[in-house]
């Protein structure tokens, strides 16, 4: 298999095998008019198998969303065909607008313009307003 290199863009690497398609969907890369390569189940010495997403455009990606779905992923920024920056993601302490509170009595279900904010606690993510625990990302 031959996937061309990119001149300016983003490579999301070290994605847990099977989570690449979910990230493409959540990042809405399937709706943008950019070239995206999704490489699934690539052999990895460190992980066994992994997914890789290559975006052939210099577009912003939501690092919090990537960290929520797969905190072990890395994001590589490519400029002029050279690695310009490498970011290790990890779990974000605050998630804004990434997941929605499921509590029907939460203020976010009444105040539609209010952003859904979740804070990382020892037992997972909890809504900042009502403390409802978010479902764990699979």
**8-53 pLDDT per residue, tens:** 999 999 999 999 998 998 888 877 688 889 999 888 888 889 999 9
In angstroms, the first-to-last Cα distance of the chain is 29
Can you give the CATH number for the domain in which 55 is found? 3.30.70.140
**Claim to verify: residue 59 and residue 84 sit in the same structural domain:** yes
Percent of the chain residues topping a pLDDT of 70: 94
Q: Phi/psi at 17 (nearest 5 deg)?
A: -50, 130
* Domain match, 52 and 116 both: no
In a domain, 106, yes or no: yes
As a whole number of angstroms, the distance between CA 63 and CA 5 comes to 22
> Would 52 be classed as within a structural domain?
yes
Which pLDDT value is given to residue 106? 93
Could you tell me if 21 and 73 lie in one domain? Answer: yes
Do 81 and 27 fall within a single domain? yes
pLDDT tens digits along 69-123: 999 999 999 999 899 999 998 999 999 988 899 999 999 988 888 999 999 999 9
Q: What is the rounded average pLDDT of the residues 54-65?
A: 90
CA 103, CA 109: separation in Å to the nearest integer?
8
18 in the same domain as 55: yes
Look at the pTM and tell me if it is higher than 0.95. Answer: no
Residue 30's pLDDT is 79
Domain containing residue 63: 9-88
Residue 135 lies inside a defined structural domain of this protein:
no
Does any domain span residue 3? no
Instruction: Based on the fold, state whether residues 70 and 108 are members of the same structural domain.
Output: no
pLDDT at residue 138 tops 60: no
* Of 60 and 137, more confident: 60
Count of domains forming the chain = 2
Note the pLDDT of residue 137. Answer: 61
> Does residue 122 sit in the same domain as residue 61?
no
pLDDT at 47: 83
Q: With pLDDT > 90 as the criterion, what percentage of the chain qualifies?
A: 57
Residues 41 and 105 grouped into a single domain = no
Same domain (yes/no): 41, 66:
yes
- Asked if 70 and 91 count as a contact pair (C-beta separation under 8 A), the reply is no
Residues 14 and 46 in one domain: yes
């Amino acid at each position: 298999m031959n996937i061309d290199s990119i001149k300016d863009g983003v490579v999301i690497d070290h994605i847990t095998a099977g989570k690449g398609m979910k990230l493409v969907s959540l990042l809405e890369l399937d709706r943008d008019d950019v070239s995206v390569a999704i490489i699934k189940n690539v052999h990895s010495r460190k992980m066994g198998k992994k997914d890789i997403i290559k975006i052939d455009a210099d577009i912003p990606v939501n690092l919090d969303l990537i960290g929520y779905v797969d905190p072990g992923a890395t994001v590589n920024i490519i400029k002029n065909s050279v690695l310009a920056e490498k970011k290790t993601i990890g779990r974000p302490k605050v998630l804004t607008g990434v997941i929605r509170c499921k509590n029907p009595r939460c203020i976010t279900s009444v105040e539609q313009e209010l952003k859904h904010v979740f804070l990382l606690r020892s037992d997972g993510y909890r809504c900042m307003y009502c403390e409802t625990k978010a479902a764990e990302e699979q």
